[in-house]
Structure 1
Amino acid sequence: MSPSPTILLPHLPPKTLVGIDLITFASTPNFHGIRDLPTGWHFLYTGTTESLSLRCGWWFHVGDSEDLDGTVISPNVGPEVLIWKWDTNTESLAPMTAATDADRQEAMRYRANLGAVWQAGGLFRYRSRVPLSSVLARDHGPGRRAPEAQRSHARDEANEEEGRDDWFGLTDRLSPAVLTRIVGDAQLDVNGQPRWMLTSASTARQDSDDLSGLVDSAQASDGLAETIEREESVLSLLPVDLKKTWREGAVGRERTEGAQDRSWALGDLIDRLSENDGGGARSGEAQVLGELQFTFLMVLTLMNYSCLQQWKRLLELILTCQSAIKDREVFVRDVLRLLLLQLKRSDDVDGGLFDLDGEEGGKFLRKLLMKFRISLYEILDGVSPAVKAEFERLEAWVKNEYDWELNRVAFVRKGIVQLEDGEEVELEMNEDDEDDETGEYAPLVVDLEETTDIQS
């Protein structure tokens, strides 16, 4: 029998944190790998503890993959058995490569012994979500009637199918070109297949000042810190400058419009990406969507700070565009659809996605969605029904899940409030003064003749 796509992790210490896509667990002495991997992108990572350790992870693809230009990249002929070895010095996984005879011979030995490992129960079946039956058994005990067990199994299968669909939706814009641009050149394993490595300390240049000293913290072993400093390249995330969103040489009204509507900055970014890979506008848009997926998943799995900041920057650039909503309708629709799926899985990160951002929480995203709604319904005419339908689904979900009201007309801005002692006071909310250009953000009238006299 030909084995299904399998990951082998020999000599992995017990109680090591192991993550595959959106599932994490602690390894046991009998754990040797994961079997039945579905076709597509996967992310495998480990950590010495569940929360306080530095995490190292590897992106890889099972089956044929397609690059941005449509080129199909096929793995070597033969069963896909992906083997990592445990490096005790760095306390992390390292791929077995074809560069050394020792690795090639050891890989052949592990493949030859695969059947025995399978029969011994040392391979964990790939899951996209924790089975509901295991949760019920833990909460209510293992003893259940046959019909109830059958219903639980059916729910498990439906839950698993939904989880696999979610993972595909979170990774379908990734490609070898996107990962190579961000992470750097891939390392080839003993089968000649590429793998891209990064850690929770990986950082982009624009965020390096905020992460100074992280690698030297007590969370990382000395060997792991040295490995990161020696081997890992800086993340090459897209250059998003939200302080200058107009063309070079723009003055007056053009600069004002460029600051209020960032469509030019988004278009310039997409055009530069398209020119670099020669794939046209769709290719540039796919790069942006791929980076949105990459940064979110690296926050979800590695809790990578730099990726969190880039995810926020990309969303702020896209959701503050106006004319691009009509000019790039398919792209904007795909962004809204992806954002909804990401928010649905945001609680998979330890403590919740928004809690990673300190006191601000999800306030930044709520304000962005409110601005986007104004552009969609109050400023623009003739927006695609598909874009509006996607935004309505997103708006309904955040309203139900987070109690976010995105329609500013629904807010009472000024009113009388009765205090506990019965006294009534008048309160006015000025949270949206910046958007409405009122209060301290109101336009200031200046006497030009008086200003000229002062300057002279």
Structure 2
Amino acid sequence: MSSILRPAPTMLLPELPPKTLVGIDLITFTSTPKFHGIRDLPDGWHFLYTGTTESLSLRSGAWFYVGDINALPHEHKDSALVPRKSNQNQDSGPVIYIWKWSSDTESLTSLKPGDATDTRMAMYYKANLASIWQSGGLFQYRSRITRPPAKDNSESNENENSEQVDQTIQSEQAQIQDDQETEEIGREDWRLLTNRLSPRLLSRIVGDPNYDLDTHPRWMVTSASTADRDADHIPGLDPQKVSEDGVPETTGEQERAFRFVEIDLKYTWREGAVGRERTTAALDRSWALGDLIHSISRYSNPVSGEIAFDESVGERDLLGEMQFTFLMVLTMMNYSCLQQWKRILELVLTSSVAIVEREAFVTEFLALLLRQLKRCDDVEGGLFDMDGDDGGAFLRDMLKKLRRSVDERVRVDDKSMVRDELACLERWVKEEYDWELAHESFVKRGMVRLEDGEEVEIDMNDDDDEDEETGEYAPMVVDSEQNQF
């Protein structure tokens, strides 16, 4: 009974219309008239979003954290993003989040501090939480959709012998155990997909959070959110007004800019570089990667208030941005996040010197990439088909270059975490996509016998090689004398 009176962290969604698409982390479902919320939320980051239909509708969602957000490891608190008051509320009783449905914006909004109506609503639902729980109106949190429980065949079991009954019980127990293991794997999967997120990162990308009555912060995102560089600006049309909760004031698209890190893949050398230095930096983007990490490593010391730089902070933020952009593609099908995810991939995977100089970072990056690729099928229509990527050809080419760089930078008898992690990634893409990353695995030139018996030599040059200056990357010979004016 005590578990009913003092439940685990719970999300209440009053007045949510039936048949609304609801997503929490890695699962989605359609709400029913009986559905009132989600219970047993585990500690950590979560993303809850809704849509009026399963497809072709604007999706709105928000990031929130269950637990003591101020106790997050490695979080440099250079600004008071999360009031300490939230921890006091959590200690006084069960943690309850209440997001009400707004018919004007067709999205969930948090209850506002100082609003008498919202305050009464919060008191009512908190007082009646036990009855909502007992009525079955709360969906138990799951990281995976498990198989439905076995039907009750008590009447038929009376006619079965004891051996058949024992087999049925054993089968049900095995199913329960399998579902528990699947759930544990799913929760660990989600944790590793979000372990580099932080209030500092989300506030940089999305903006300052909103706070509810209990000072729980949340960071609002919609499927129409975009970075300025990815937006289609139409002259004469003003940006749409956005409410305090970060959602459009009408049901149209939102024009709220993401503040991603600036990645310019066409300018990857230091200012003033000339000649060979520029050429080297254009082929090996390690300098640009280091400069980017340094630029986001700045933080204010919470004790002295002095400005300091810690590149481990920048590396975590870049990994966190990769996690954020991928999950917004996975859940919201956000186009701008897809473009930034690809830019981060290309920057890191073409940084040859970083394989040695930033070995721990690149190793974690490859482990995260593999975990993300294993979730690509969750994207509606396929991740690589969203942008016409021809089955992920851009990623295959980047991984080939990385494999070649590892072979050049790391000796065979040297221990390398990057090489070991790349080997795991290579095995998986070979099995899943039939990609060959080893350069020597391809036969570039050979003799082919035609139907009439004639033999001809062919050159397999499907992939123009930028490093070897073949195909479209081949140098052009220009007669300087004929081009003089």
2:385 aligns to what SS in structure 1? helix
- Give the letter for the 1:107 counterpart: A
**In the alignment, which of 428, 435, 439 is matched to residue 459 of structure 2?**
428
**Cα shift at 1:351:** 2.0
Contact 1:17–1:50 at 8 Å: present in 2 too?
Answer: yes
**Cα shift at 1:424:** 5.2
**In the alignment, which of 358, 368, 378 is matched to residue 338 of structure 1?**
368
Match of 2:242 in 1: none
Contact 2:224–2:255 at 8 Å: present in 1 too?
Answer: no
Higher Rg of the two aligned structures: 2
**Aligned counterparts of 1:435 and 1:160: Cα–Cα separation in 2:** 45
**Aligned counterparts of 1:427 and 1:263: Cα–Cα separation in 2:** 36
Contact 1:129–1:163 at 8 Å: present in 2 too?
Answer: yes
**Do structure 1's residue 53 and structure 2's residue 57 form an aligned pair?**
yes
**Aligned counterparts of 2:315 and 2:213: Cα–Cα separation in 1:** 34
Change (3 A) 1:211 1:351: farther
Aligned-pair identity in percent equals 57
- Give the letter for the 1:269 counterpart: L
**In the alignment, which of 77, 99, 111 is matched to residue 126 of structure 2?**
111
Change (3 A) 1:31 1:254: same
**Aligned counterparts of 1:60 and 1:132: Cα–Cα separation in 2:** 28
Contact 1:20–1:42 at 8 Å: present in 2 too?
Answer: yes
**Cα shift at 1:231:** 8.1
**Aligned counterparts of 1:229 and 1:49: Cα–Cα separation in 2:** 15
Contact 1:68–1:175 at 8 Å: present in 2 too?
Answer: no
Match of 1:5 in 2: 9
Match of 1:193 in 2: 216
1:44 aligns to what SS in structure 2? strand
Contact 1:201–1:215 at 8 Å: present in 2 too?
Answer: no
CA deviation map 1:303-361 (0-9, x unaligned): 00000000000000000001111111111011001001001111111122112122523
Contact 2:355–2:409 at 8 Å: present in 1 too?
Answer: no
Report the aligned-residue RMSD. Answer: 2.9
**In the alignment, which of 420, 430, 449 is matched to residue 399 of structure 1?**
430
Match of 2:345 in 1: 315
**Aligned counterparts of 1:440 and 1:350: Cα–Cα separation in 2:** 34
Contact 1:90–1:227 at 8 Å: present in 2 too?
Answer: yes
Change (3 A) 1:212 1:62: farther
CA deviation map 1:177-216 (0-9, x unaligned): 0000000000001110110001000000110128999999
**In the alignment, which of 269, 274, 282 is matched to residue 297 of structure 2?**
274
Contact 2:104–2:251 at 8 Å: present in 1 too?
Answer: no
**Do structure 1's residue 250 and structure 2's residue 273 form an aligned pair?**
yes
Change (3 A) 1:43 1:232: farther
**Aligned counterparts of 1:214 and 1:126: Cα–Cα separation in 2:** 42
Q: Which runs of 5+ in 1 are unaligned?
A: 138-142, 217-223
- Give the letter for the 2:466 counterpart: E
After alignment, is 367-376 or 377-386 more displaced? 377-386
**Aligned counterparts of 1:259 and 1:37: Cα–Cα separation in 2:** 47
Contact 1:69–1:279 at 8 Å: present in 2 too?
Answer: no
Change (3 A) 1:454 1:10: closer
* TM norm structure 1: 0.90
**Aligned counterparts of 1:80 and 1:253: Cα–Cα separation in 2:** 59
Query: How many residues get paired?
Result: 442
* TM norm structure 2: 0.85
Contact 1:184–1:196 at 8 Å: present in 2 too?
Answer: yes
Contact 2:106–2:251 at 8 Å: present in 1 too?
Answer: no
**Cα shift at 1:416:** 3.3
Contact 1:203–1:211 at 8 Å: present in 2 too?
Answer: no
Match of 1:412 in 2: 443
**Cα shift at 1:287:** 0.6
- Give the letter for the 1:53 counterpart: S
- Give matches, 1:296-375, under 5 Å: 296-375=326-405
Match of 1:239 in 2: 262
